[in-house]
Chains A and B, each alone.
Chain A
Amino acid sequence: MSLKVDVIGNGTVIDHIPGGRGLLCLKVLGIESIDSPVILLSNVSSNNKGGKKDLIKIEDRFLTPKEHNKLAIIAPGATVNIINDTHVTDKRLISVPEKFVDVICCTNPNCVSNTESYISSSFAVERKEPLEVRCSYCDRVVGAKQLLRQVIG
Protein backbone atom coordinates (compact mmCIF):
# COMPACT_ATOMS: atom_id res chain seq x y z
CA MET A 1 0.00 0.00 0.00
CA SER A 2 1.31 3.43 -0.73
CA LEU A 3 0.14 6.60 0.88
CA LYS A 4 0.17 9.87 -0.92
CA VAL A 5 0.39 13.08 0.96
CA ASP A 6 0.49 16.48 -0.61
CA VAL A 7 3.91 17.96 -1.05
CA ILE A 8 4.58 20.96 1.11
CA GLY A 9 5.81 24.30 -0.10
CA ASN A 10 8.16 25.23 2.73
CA GLY A 11 8.95 23.27 5.84
CA THR A 12 10.41 20.07 7.16
CA VAL A 13 9.80 16.43 6.37
CA ILE A 14 11.11 13.95 8.88
CA ASP A 15 11.20 10.53 7.31
CA HIS A 16 12.27 7.06 8.44
CA ILE A 17 11.26 7.64 12.04
CA PRO A 18 11.23 4.26 13.82
CA GLY A 19 7.64 2.94 13.65
CA GLY A 20 5.40 4.34 16.37
CA ARG A 21 7.81 7.08 17.46
CA GLY A 22 6.28 9.87 15.36
CA LEU A 23 4.01 11.14 18.09
CA LEU A 24 6.95 11.32 20.50
CA CYS A 25 8.89 13.33 17.92
CA LEU A 26 6.03 15.80 17.69
CA LYS A 27 6.00 16.05 21.45
CA VAL A 28 9.69 16.94 21.43
CA LEU A 29 9.03 19.61 18.84
CA GLY A 30 6.17 20.97 20.93
CA ILE A 31 3.20 20.25 18.71
CA GLU A 32 0.90 22.46 20.77
CA SER A 33 2.98 25.47 19.86
CA ILE A 34 3.05 24.76 16.15
CA ASP A 35 0.52 26.91 14.30
CA SER A 36 1.06 25.59 10.82
CA PRO A 37 -0.33 22.31 9.42
CA VAL A 38 1.28 19.09 10.62
CA ILE A 39 0.91 15.69 9.03
CA LEU A 40 1.84 12.52 10.87
CA LEU A 41 1.85 9.16 9.17
CA SER A 42 2.32 6.25 11.48
CA ASN A 43 3.31 2.63 10.80
CA VAL A 44 3.84 3.03 7.09
CA SER A 45 5.71 0.11 5.60
CA SER A 46 9.27 1.10 5.07
CA ASN A 47 10.44 0.03 1.65
CA ASN A 48 14.07 -0.60 2.47
CA LYS A 49 13.94 -2.93 5.45
CA GLY A 50 10.39 -4.22 5.38
CA GLY A 51 9.74 -2.69 8.81
CA LYS A 52 7.44 0.09 9.82
CA LYS A 53 8.25 3.74 9.87
CA ASP A 54 6.62 7.01 10.80
CA LEU A 55 6.76 10.21 8.82
CA ILE A 56 6.11 13.83 9.78
CA LYS A 57 5.55 16.86 7.62
CA ILE A 58 5.46 20.29 9.18
CA GLU A 59 4.81 23.40 7.14
CA ASP A 60 6.84 26.56 7.67
CA ARG A 61 8.86 25.13 10.51
CA PHE A 62 12.55 24.20 10.66
CA LEU A 63 14.45 22.36 13.36
CA THR A 64 16.91 23.98 15.73
CA PRO A 65 20.18 22.17 16.40
CA LYS A 66 18.93 21.38 19.89
CA GLU A 67 15.77 19.77 18.51
CA HIS A 68 17.93 17.84 16.10
CA ASN A 69 19.91 16.46 19.03
CA LYS A 70 16.80 15.63 20.98
CA LEU A 71 15.46 13.69 18.02
CA ALA A 72 18.69 11.71 18.01
CA ILE A 73 17.53 10.28 21.32
CA ILE A 74 14.13 9.09 20.13
CA ALA A 75 14.52 8.67 16.40
CA PRO A 76 18.07 7.81 15.41
CA GLY A 77 18.20 6.88 11.74
CA ALA A 78 15.46 9.31 10.73
CA THR A 79 16.13 11.78 7.94
CA VAL A 80 15.31 15.46 7.99
CA ASN A 81 14.45 17.04 4.64
CA ILE A 82 14.33 20.80 4.40
CA ILE A 83 11.80 21.92 1.82
CA ASN A 84 12.08 25.29 0.22
CA ASP A 85 9.67 26.19 -2.53
CA THR A 86 8.58 22.51 -2.91
CA HIS A 87 12.17 21.37 -3.42
CA VAL A 88 14.33 19.43 -1.01
CA THR A 89 17.18 21.84 -0.41
CA ASP A 90 18.89 20.00 2.41
CA LYS A 91 18.79 16.47 3.73
CA ARG A 92 20.30 15.38 6.99
CA LEU A 93 20.50 12.08 8.78
CA ILE A 94 19.64 12.08 12.46
CA SER A 95 22.41 10.09 14.01
CA VAL A 96 23.55 9.74 17.59
CA PRO A 97 26.37 12.25 18.09
CA GLU A 98 29.58 11.52 20.00
CA LYS A 99 28.52 14.04 22.61
CA PHE A 100 25.30 15.64 23.80
CA VAL A 101 25.96 19.21 24.92
CA ASP A 102 23.20 21.17 26.65
CA VAL A 103 20.50 18.75 25.50
CA ILE A 104 19.74 16.81 28.65
CA CYS A 105 20.29 17.27 32.38
CA CYS A 106 22.37 15.09 34.63
CA THR A 107 20.26 12.87 36.87
CA ASN A 108 22.69 13.34 39.74
CA PRO A 109 21.38 16.28 41.80
CA ASN A 110 24.82 16.69 43.38
CA CYS A 111 26.50 17.04 39.97
CA VAL A 112 28.23 20.34 39.39
CA SER A 113 26.42 20.70 36.05
CA ASN A 114 23.22 21.04 38.10
CA THR A 115 24.54 23.12 40.97
CA GLU A 116 26.45 25.62 38.82
CA SER A 117 23.74 26.78 36.48
CA TYR A 118 25.94 28.68 34.01
CA ILE A 119 27.66 25.61 32.62
CA SER A 120 26.30 23.43 29.84
CA SER A 121 25.67 19.81 30.59
CA SER A 122 27.84 17.49 28.57
CA PHE A 123 27.44 13.77 28.00
CA ALA A 124 29.65 11.37 26.11
CA VAL A 125 27.87 8.55 24.32
CA GLU A 126 28.91 5.25 25.87
CA ARG A 127 26.69 3.00 23.82
CA LYS A 128 24.38 3.69 20.90
CA GLU A 129 21.95 0.78 21.05
CA PRO A 130 20.33 0.96 23.50
CA LEU A 131 21.50 4.50 24.06
CA GLU A 132 23.61 5.11 27.15
CA VAL A 133 25.46 8.32 27.95
CA ARG A 134 27.95 9.32 30.63
CA CYS A 135 28.09 12.74 32.29
CA SER A 136 31.41 14.43 31.53
CA TYR A 137 31.42 16.02 34.96
CA CYS A 138 30.31 13.38 37.44
CA ASP A 139 30.48 10.17 35.37
CA ARG A 140 26.85 9.32 36.09
CA VAL A 141 25.54 6.97 33.41
CA VAL A 142 22.10 7.83 32.08
CA GLY A 143 20.18 5.13 30.23
CA ALA A 144 17.73 5.15 27.34
CA LYS A 145 14.59 5.17 29.49
CA GLN A 146 15.60 8.22 31.49
CA LEU A 147 16.79 10.03 28.38
CA LEU A 148 13.46 9.42 26.73
CA ARG A 149 11.59 10.68 29.75
CA GLN A 150 13.67 13.84 29.72
CA VAL A 151 13.26 14.79 26.07
CA ILE A 152 9.52 14.21 25.95
CA GLY A 153 9.19 16.11 29.25
Chain B
Amino acid sequence: MISISDFSSKECDRIFELASEYKQNGAENECSGKILGSAFFEPSTRTMLSFHSAMQRLGGNVLGFSDTSTTSVKKGECLADTMRTLAAYCDLMVIRHPNEGSAKLSSEFASVPVINAGDGGREHPTQTLLDLFTIKENKDSVKGLNVVLCGDLKYGRTVHSLAMALAGMGADITCVSPPELKMPESVTTCLERKHKVSVVEENELSSAVKDADVLYMTRIQKERFGSPEEYAKVKDCYVVNKEIMSKANENMLLMHPLPRVNEISLDVDSDKRAIFFEQALNGVFVRMALISLILGVRD
Protein backbone atom coordinates (compact mmCIF):
# COMPACT_ATOMS: atom_id res chain seq x y z
CA MET B 1 0.00 0.00 0.00
CA ILE B 2 2.19 2.72 -1.35
CA SER B 3 -0.07 5.35 -2.84
CA ILE B 4 -3.66 6.40 -2.39
CA SER B 5 -4.10 5.71 -6.09
CA ASP B 6 -3.51 2.01 -5.36
CA PHE B 7 -7.10 1.88 -4.11
CA SER B 8 -10.25 1.76 -6.14
CA SER B 9 -13.20 3.65 -4.73
CA LYS B 10 -14.77 0.30 -3.92
CA GLU B 11 -11.74 -0.69 -1.87
CA CYS B 12 -11.80 2.68 -0.09
CA ASP B 13 -15.45 2.14 0.76
CA ARG B 14 -14.63 -1.28 2.20
CA ILE B 15 -11.90 0.23 4.39
CA PHE B 16 -14.32 2.91 5.63
CA GLU B 17 -17.04 0.37 6.32
CA LEU B 18 -14.71 -1.78 8.37
CA ALA B 19 -13.21 1.25 10.15
CA SER B 20 -16.69 2.26 11.12
CA GLU B 21 -17.41 -1.23 12.44
CA TYR B 22 -14.25 -1.15 14.57
CA LYS B 23 -15.16 2.29 15.84
CA GLN B 24 -18.58 1.14 16.98
CA ASN B 25 -17.92 -2.37 18.16
CA GLY B 26 -14.20 -2.60 18.76
CA ALA B 27 -12.27 -5.61 17.55
CA GLU B 28 -11.76 -9.16 18.64
CA ASN B 29 -8.21 -10.48 18.68
CA GLU B 30 -8.34 -10.84 14.94
CA CYS B 31 -4.63 -10.35 14.37
CA SER B 32 -3.38 -12.34 17.33
CA GLY B 33 -0.12 -14.05 16.47
CA LYS B 34 0.63 -11.52 13.76
CA ILE B 35 3.46 -9.02 13.91
CA LEU B 36 3.63 -5.53 12.47
CA GLY B 37 7.17 -4.38 11.64
CA SER B 38 7.48 -0.68 12.20
CA ALA B 39 10.34 1.11 10.39
CA PHE B 40 10.41 4.81 11.20
CA PHE B 41 13.52 6.31 9.65
CA GLU B 42 12.45 9.76 10.75
CA PRO B 43 10.47 10.71 13.82
CA SER B 44 6.70 10.87 13.52
CA THR B 45 5.48 9.89 16.92
CA ARG B 46 1.84 10.51 16.19
CA THR B 47 1.63 8.36 13.07
CA MET B 48 3.76 5.65 14.62
CA LEU B 49 1.70 5.40 17.78
CA SER B 50 -1.48 5.35 15.74
CA PHE B 51 -0.21 2.32 13.80
CA HIS B 52 0.99 0.60 16.97
CA SER B 53 -2.32 1.24 18.69
CA ALA B 54 -4.19 -0.12 15.68
CA MET B 55 -2.17 -3.34 15.63
CA GLN B 56 -2.46 -3.83 19.38
CA ARG B 57 -6.21 -3.23 19.36
CA LEU B 58 -6.41 -6.02 16.81
CA GLY B 59 -4.54 -8.29 19.22
CA GLY B 60 -1.31 -8.28 17.23
CA ASN B 61 2.24 -7.41 18.17
CA VAL B 62 4.60 -4.72 17.04
CA LEU B 63 8.36 -4.59 16.64
CA GLY B 64 10.66 -2.12 14.96
CA PHE B 65 12.53 1.10 15.44
CA SER B 66 11.85 4.80 15.47
CA ASP B 67 15.38 6.02 15.75
CA THR B 68 17.88 4.97 13.12
CA SER B 69 20.86 5.88 15.29
CA THR B 70 20.45 2.61 17.17
CA THR B 71 20.11 0.41 14.10
CA SER B 72 22.47 -0.91 11.48
CA VAL B 73 21.28 1.91 9.20
CA LYS B 74 23.79 4.01 11.06
CA LYS B 75 26.50 1.54 10.10
CA GLY B 76 25.70 2.26 6.49
CA GLU B 77 23.24 -0.51 5.74
CA CYS B 78 21.20 0.19 2.65
CA LEU B 79 17.44 0.59 2.79
CA ALA B 80 16.78 -2.56 0.79
CA ASP B 81 18.76 -4.73 3.23
CA THR B 82 17.15 -3.16 6.29
CA MET B 83 13.68 -3.77 4.93
CA ARG B 84 14.44 -7.26 3.68
CA THR B 85 15.74 -8.19 7.09
CA LEU B 86 12.84 -6.67 8.99
CA ALA B 87 10.41 -8.41 6.64
CA ALA B 88 11.69 -11.75 7.88
CA TYR B 89 10.59 -10.88 11.41
CA CYS B 90 7.03 -9.78 10.69
CA ASP B 91 3.85 -10.28 8.65
CA LEU B 92 3.36 -6.71 7.52
CA MET B 93 5.50 -3.60 7.55
CA VAL B 94 4.93 0.09 7.87
CA ILE B 95 7.61 2.51 6.72
CA ARG B 96 8.22 6.19 7.23
CA HIS B 97 11.26 7.55 5.41
CA PRO B 98 12.54 10.98 4.35
CA ASN B 99 13.20 10.02 0.72
CA GLU B 100 10.55 9.99 -1.95
CA GLY B 101 9.91 6.54 -3.36
CA SER B 102 11.35 4.71 -0.34
CA ALA B 103 8.10 2.85 0.33
CA LYS B 104 7.97 1.61 -3.24
CA LEU B 105 11.59 0.51 -3.09
CA SER B 106 10.90 -1.34 0.16
CA SER B 107 7.93 -3.14 -1.34
CA GLU B 108 10.18 -4.40 -4.14
CA PHE B 109 12.62 -5.98 -1.69
CA ALA B 110 10.39 -7.05 1.20
CA SER B 111 8.64 -10.41 1.26
CA VAL B 112 5.66 -9.03 3.20
CA PRO B 113 3.19 -6.23 2.38
CA VAL B 114 4.42 -2.68 3.00
CA ILE B 115 2.29 0.26 4.13
CA ASN B 116 3.61 3.72 3.31
CA ALA B 117 3.40 6.02 6.32
CA GLY B 118 4.96 8.93 4.50
CA ASP B 119 7.83 8.99 2.01
CA GLY B 120 9.49 12.40 1.91
CA GLY B 121 7.31 15.07 0.43
CA ARG B 122 5.39 12.61 -1.69
CA GLU B 123 2.54 10.75 -0.09
CA HIS B 124 1.03 9.80 3.20
CA PRO B 125 -1.89 7.68 2.07
CA THR B 126 -3.23 6.60 5.46
CA GLN B 127 -3.60 10.27 6.39
CA THR B 128 -5.63 10.81 3.24
CA LEU B 129 -7.79 7.79 4.05
CA LEU B 130 -8.54 8.96 7.57
CA ASP B 131 -9.35 12.47 6.32
CA LEU B 132 -11.81 11.04 3.81
CA PHE B 133 -13.29 8.73 6.42
CA THR B 134 -13.84 11.66 8.77
CA ILE B 135 -15.57 13.72 6.08
CA LYS B 136 -17.74 10.81 4.98
CA GLU B 137 -18.67 10.03 8.54
CA ASN B 138 -19.97 13.55 9.06
CA LYS B 139 -21.45 14.39 5.68
CA ASP B 140 -23.99 12.44 3.68
CA SER B 141 -22.09 12.77 0.45
CA VAL B 142 -18.78 14.21 -0.70
CA LYS B 143 -20.22 15.20 -4.05
CA GLY B 144 -20.87 18.92 -4.27
CA LEU B 145 -19.17 19.77 -0.98
CA ASN B 146 -17.14 22.94 -0.94
CA VAL B 147 -13.84 22.02 0.68
CA VAL B 148 -11.57 24.91 1.62
CA LEU B 149 -7.90 23.95 1.92
CA CYS B 150 -5.90 26.54 3.80
CA GLY B 151 -2.27 27.11 4.76
CA ASP B 152 0.75 25.53 3.14
CA LEU B 153 -0.68 24.10 -0.06
CA LYS B 154 2.69 23.95 -1.79
CA TYR B 155 4.69 21.56 0.38
CA GLY B 156 1.85 20.11 2.45
CA ARG B 157 2.27 16.48 1.58
CA THR B 158 -1.16 15.31 2.57
CA VAL B 159 -3.06 18.12 1.02
CA HIS B 160 -2.28 17.23 -2.61
CA SER B 161 -3.49 13.67 -2.40
CA LEU B 162 -6.48 14.75 -0.34
CA ALA B 163 -7.42 17.33 -2.99
CA MET B 164 -7.11 14.69 -5.72
CA ALA B 165 -9.20 12.17 -3.83
CA LEU B 166 -11.90 14.71 -2.96
CA ALA B 167 -12.06 16.00 -6.52
CA GLY B 168 -12.39 12.41 -7.69
CA MET B 169 -15.48 12.13 -5.51
CA GLY B 170 -16.98 15.31 -6.90
CA ALA B 171 -16.13 17.93 -4.28
CA ASP B 172 -15.29 21.53 -5.17
CA ILE B 173 -11.95 22.78 -3.98
CA THR B 174 -11.12 26.27 -2.72
CA CYS B 175 -7.49 27.06 -2.04
CA VAL B 176 -6.47 29.70 0.48
CA SER B 177 -2.73 30.26 0.91
CA PRO B 178 -0.06 32.94 0.94
CA PRO B 179 1.31 33.52 -2.59
CA GLU B 180 4.60 31.75 -1.80
CA LEU B 181 2.77 28.61 -0.65
CA LYS B 182 0.22 28.25 -3.43
CA MET B 183 -1.00 24.86 -4.62
CA PRO B 184 1.41 23.80 -7.41
CA GLU B 185 0.09 24.29 -10.91
CA SER B 186 0.73 20.63 -11.70
CA VAL B 187 -1.85 19.72 -9.04
CA THR B 188 -4.47 22.32 -9.95
CA THR B 189 -4.32 21.56 -13.68
CA CYS B 190 -4.64 17.87 -12.91
CA LEU B 191 -7.68 18.57 -10.73
CA GLU B 192 -9.26 20.64 -13.44
CA ARG B 193 -8.42 18.37 -16.35
CA LYS B 194 -8.84 14.95 -14.86
CA HIS B 195 -11.67 15.55 -12.46
CA LYS B 196 -13.33 18.53 -14.16
CA VAL B 197 -13.26 20.29 -10.83
CA SER B 198 -12.86 24.01 -10.64
CA VAL B 199 -10.24 25.21 -8.23
CA VAL B 200 -10.93 28.63 -6.78
CA GLU B 201 -8.09 30.60 -5.24
CA GLU B 202 -8.81 33.01 -2.44
CA ASN B 203 -6.59 35.18 -0.31
CA GLU B 204 -8.95 35.88 2.52
CA LEU B 205 -9.91 33.09 4.85
CA SER B 206 -12.72 35.18 6.35
CA SER B 207 -14.54 35.32 3.01
CA ALA B 208 -13.70 31.77 1.91
CA VAL B 209 -15.06 30.31 5.10
CA LYS B 210 -18.58 31.69 4.52
CA ASP B 211 -19.75 28.96 2.20
CA ALA B 212 -17.35 26.22 3.24
CA ASP B 213 -18.63 22.75 4.10
CA VAL B 214 -15.20 21.66 5.23
CA LEU B 215 -12.28 23.85 6.29
CA TYR B 216 -9.05 21.86 6.20
CA MET B 217 -6.18 23.74 7.85
CA THR B 218 -2.52 22.81 7.45
CA ARG B 219 0.56 23.84 9.31
CA ILE B 220 3.08 26.18 7.74
CA GLN B 221 6.42 24.54 8.40
CA LYS B 222 9.45 26.50 9.44
CA GLU B 223 11.81 24.13 7.61
CA ARG B 224 10.40 25.22 4.27
CA PHE B 225 11.80 28.71 4.50
CA GLY B 226 15.28 29.95 3.76
CA SER B 227 15.33 32.59 6.47
CA PRO B 228 13.50 33.17 9.76
CA GLU B 229 12.27 36.51 8.34
CA GLU B 230 10.51 34.83 5.44
CA TYR B 231 8.87 32.40 7.82
CA ALA B 232 7.82 35.15 10.19
CA LYS B 233 6.12 36.94 7.30
CA VAL B 234 3.67 34.11 6.63
CA LYS B 235 3.55 32.00 9.76
CA ASP B 236 0.49 33.56 11.30
CA CYS B 237 -1.28 34.76 8.19
CA TYR B 238 -4.22 32.38 8.64
CA VAL B 239 -5.52 31.75 12.10
CA VAL B 240 -8.86 30.15 12.78
CA ASN B 241 -10.32 31.76 15.87
CA LYS B 242 -13.77 32.41 17.26
CA GLU B 243 -14.27 35.31 14.89
CA ILE B 244 -13.57 33.20 11.81
CA MET B 245 -15.79 30.42 13.14
CA SER B 246 -18.63 32.89 13.65
CA LYS B 247 -18.64 33.51 9.88
CA ALA B 248 -18.81 29.81 9.01
CA ASN B 249 -22.02 27.87 8.66
CA GLU B 250 -23.12 25.72 11.56
CA ASN B 251 -22.43 22.38 9.88
CA MET B 252 -18.97 23.17 8.67
CA LEU B 253 -16.23 20.72 9.68
CA LEU B 254 -12.96 22.17 10.91
CA MET B 255 -10.17 19.68 10.24
CA HIS B 256 -6.40 19.58 10.73
CA PRO B 257 -3.90 16.72 10.31
CA LEU B 258 -2.12 17.78 13.57
CA PRO B 259 0.17 18.80 15.08
CA ARG B 260 -1.12 22.35 14.95
CA VAL B 261 0.91 25.38 15.93
CA ASN B 262 -0.91 28.69 15.80
CA GLU B 263 -3.25 28.16 12.88
CA ILE B 264 -6.15 27.07 15.05
CA SER B 265 -6.48 28.94 18.30
CA LEU B 266 -7.28 26.98 21.42
CA ASP B 267 -10.53 28.82 22.00
CA VAL B 268 -12.25 27.01 19.13
CA ASP B 269 -11.49 23.53 20.50
CA SER B 270 -14.78 23.36 22.31
CA ASP B 271 -16.71 24.32 19.16
CA LYS B 272 -18.59 21.23 17.99
CA ARG B 273 -17.44 21.87 14.44
CA ALA B 274 -13.80 21.42 15.46
CA ILE B 275 -13.34 17.72 14.81
CA PHE B 276 -9.58 17.39 14.49
CA PHE B 277 -9.12 15.28 17.59
CA GLU B 278 -11.88 12.98 16.42
CA GLN B 279 -10.09 12.94 13.06
CA ALA B 280 -6.85 11.79 14.74
CA LEU B 281 -8.74 9.10 16.63
CA ASN B 282 -10.28 7.91 13.37
CA GLY B 283 -6.73 7.30 12.17
CA VAL B 284 -6.53 4.30 14.49
CA PHE B 285 -9.74 2.73 13.14
CA VAL B 286 -8.80 3.33 9.53
CA ARG B 287 -5.37 1.79 10.13
CA MET B 288 -6.99 -1.18 11.92
CA ALA B 289 -9.20 -1.72 8.89
CA LEU B 290 -6.27 -1.45 6.53
CA ILE B 291 -4.14 -3.88 8.53
CA SER B 292 -6.80 -6.55 8.83
CA LEU B 293 -7.69 -6.30 5.15
CA ILE B 294 -4.05 -6.52 4.06
CA LEU B 295 -3.39 -9.45 6.40
CA GLY B 296 -6.48 -11.12 5.05
CA VAL B 297 -8.15 -11.68 8.42
CA ARG B 298 -11.05 -9.75 6.92
CA ASP B 299 -12.10 -9.50 3.30
Contact = CB atoms under 8 A, between A and B. Distances in A.
Contact of B79 (A110, A116, A136, A140): A116
B110 to A, nearest CB: 14
A138 interface: yes
* Majority DSSP secondary structure for residues of B touching A: mixed
A112 interface: yes
B186 to A, nearest CB: 7
Contact of B101 (A118, A137, A141): A137
B23 interface: no
Nearest to B102: A112
A1 interface: no
B99 A110 contact: yes
A98 interface: no
B78 interface: yes
A137 B79 contact: no
Given A110-B120, A110-B121, A138 B101 contact: yes
B100 A108 contact: yes
B122 interface: yes
B80 A119 contact: yes
B104 interface: yes
A102 interface: no
A29 interface: no
Interface in A110-143: 110-113, 115-116, 118-119, 135-141
Contacts of A111: 99-101
B194 to A, nearest CB: 13
Contacts of B104: 112, 136-137
Given A111-B100, A112-B101, A139 B80 contact: no
B105 A116 contact: yes
Nearest to B103: A112
B98 interface: yes
Nearest to A137: B101
Contact of B122 (A116, A139, A141): A139
Given A139-B122, A141-B186, A118 B99 contact: no
25 contacts: A110-B98, A110-B99, A110-B100, A110-B120, A111-B101, A112-B79, A112-B97, A112-B99, A112-B102, A112-B104, A112-B119, A113-B101, A116-B79, A116-B80, A116-B105, A118-B78, A119-B80, A119-B105, A135-B101, A136-B104, A137-B104, A137-B105, A138-B100, A138-B120, A139-B101
Given A112-B100, A119-B80, A137-B101, 12 more contacts: A110-B98, A110-B100, A111-B101, A112-B97, A112-B99, A112-B101, A112-B102, A112-B104, A113-B105, A118-B78, A118-B80, A137-B104
